[in-house]
Amino acid sequence: MLLLPLILFLLVGSGIGQQCQIATKCVTDYAEDQCWVTEQLVPNSHIFNCCPSCQVTSGETPPVTGCKPPYNCLPDGSYGPVQCKGDMFTGRCFCSDGNGNRIFGQMWRTDASQMTCACSRRRAEMEVSEKRSVTLHCTRSGDYEPLQCDNGMCWCAEPKTGQPTAGPVPESDMRQLPCYSTSKVGSQYLRRCESLVHAIAKIQQEQQDHGTNFLGNPVTFCDYDGSYGPYQITNGIAYCTGLDGEILGSWQVVSSEMTGMNCNCARDTIMYFPERGMTVTETCQPNGNYMPNQNVGNVFYCVDSDGYPTTDLLDQWPPGGCSNIISNSK
């Protein structure tokens, strides 16, 4: 299917509703049999309502649990995209999904006045609703990068809102976009980690097609900016890793016991706090998470998964430790 480069309109009832607001090409004719069992083909549903896509028709997104102060809450009771913790010296703001779960994107609190997390929130929502790998690129603060590509199409985006400013065009023509930069993007949109994930997936598919399943295949996770995620799995061991995929310190755990692993403490200790000229004073667990029970000499306190206190300074830890307090905090 090829859409001519002009503004398209679609009749809606007795009126005319604008559907495709910018020039575009749709390079692939989708067919119903290309959609998953739980999806159906929906016309004018992708790339600013210009192109068809497969949309989920069954299955539900996680329910909104209800946001309460002191969290930043939206009028519908969901969590705001930006959630801040700590004081103005060591405090940070993190991107959050609608249920208050931390997602990619953070800034130091003193620098976060213009933080929106619009890109991180949108990408997280798309990954849940569309059940596919999304390749929108977000900045470290959760905003949109100027050049965006997804599902074979590329366009320019306004960093704070994600609104398109040029395009979309097929990914092969991304160099024609005014937001394309050879020095920043290079010859391909996908970055090293993302390219590796695609290569591994292709190898695994070929192995399955030939009736083999090699358990030693590495498992790579990428963050929303295309860098390596906080942990990677090699030979059954999950290691905390930096943005370049290199192993951080000695934080590791066997992959069968990595449930809840986030490496927040490991990354803060090696990366984020040193960048700020500061030092992490809290203790990490062997898997790179923050130890919930913290103490300095005879002073005791509890921290959440981001390392911020959830109690006042105590003479002793609460009965049963800090686990009950942690489970009731985001």
Domain count, the chain: 3
> What whole-number distance in Å separates Cα of residue 138 and Cα of residue 147?
10
Question: Does pLDDT of 63 surpass 50?
Answer: yes
Question: Does pLDDT of 21 surpass 60?
Answer: no
> Does residue 121 belong to any structural domain of this protein?
no
Residues 271 and 301 in one domain: no
> Does residue 98 belong to any structural domain of this protein?
no
pLDDT reported for residue 46: 62
> Does residue 112 belong to any structural domain of this protein?
no
Q: How confident is the model at residue 70 (pLDDT cuts 50, 70, 90)?
A: confident
Burial (0-12, 13-18, 19+ Cβ within 10 Å), 217:
middle
Question: Does pLDDT of 189 surpass 70?
Answer: yes
More confident residue, 299 or 5: 299
Question: Does pLDDT of 2 surpass 80?
Answer: no
> What whole-number distance in Å separates Cα of residue 47 and Cα of residue 27?
12
> Does residue 320 belong to any structural domain of this protein?
yes
Radius of gyration of the chain (CA): 22
> Does residue 199 belong to any structural domain of this protein?
yes
End-to-end CA separation in angstroms for the chain: 46
**Strand (E) or helix (H) holding 315:** none
pLDDT reported for residue 318: 87
Dump pLDDT digits (tens) for 141-162: 999 999 999 988 999 999 999 9
Lowest mean pLDDT segment, chosen from 25-34, 126-135, 245-254: 25-34
pLDDT reported for residue 26: 55
Place of tokens 């394309």: 180
Strands 153-157 and 164-170: antiparallel
> Does residue 203 belong to any structural domain of this protein?
yes
The DSSP-derived string for 101-122 is -EEEEEEEGGG-TT---HHHHH
Q: How confident is the model at residue 183 (pLDDT cuts 50, 70, 90)?
A: confident
- Tokens representing residue 181 in the block: 């930069």
How many residues in the chain?
Answer: 330
Question: Does pLDDT of 10 surpass 60?
Answer: no
Cβ contacts of 310 within 8 Å, gap of 6 or more: 302, 303, 304, 322, 325, 326, 329
pLDDT reported for residue 31: 64
> What whole-number distance in Å separates Cα of residue 151 and Cα of residue 294?
45
> Does residue 148 belong to any structural domain of this protein?
no
Instruction: Kindly state the average pLDDT of the residues 159-185.
Output: 92
Contact 289, 251 (CB under 8 A): no
pLDDT reported for residue 49: 57
Residues 208 and 270 in one domain: yes
Instruction: Kindly state the average pLDDT of the residues 198-205.
Output: 72
Phi-psi region of 320 (alpha: psi -120 to 50; beta: other; left: phi over 0): left
> Does residue 221 belong to any structural domain of this protein?
yes
Domain holding 302, by residue range, is 293-327
- Tokens representing residue 66 in the block: 């209800």
Residues 322 and 268 in one domain: no
Q: Which of 248, 275, 302 is the last residue of a domain?
A: 275
> What whole-number distance in Å separates Cα of residue 329 and Cα of residue 81?
17
Q: Which of 59, 75, 101 is the last residue of a domain?
A: 59
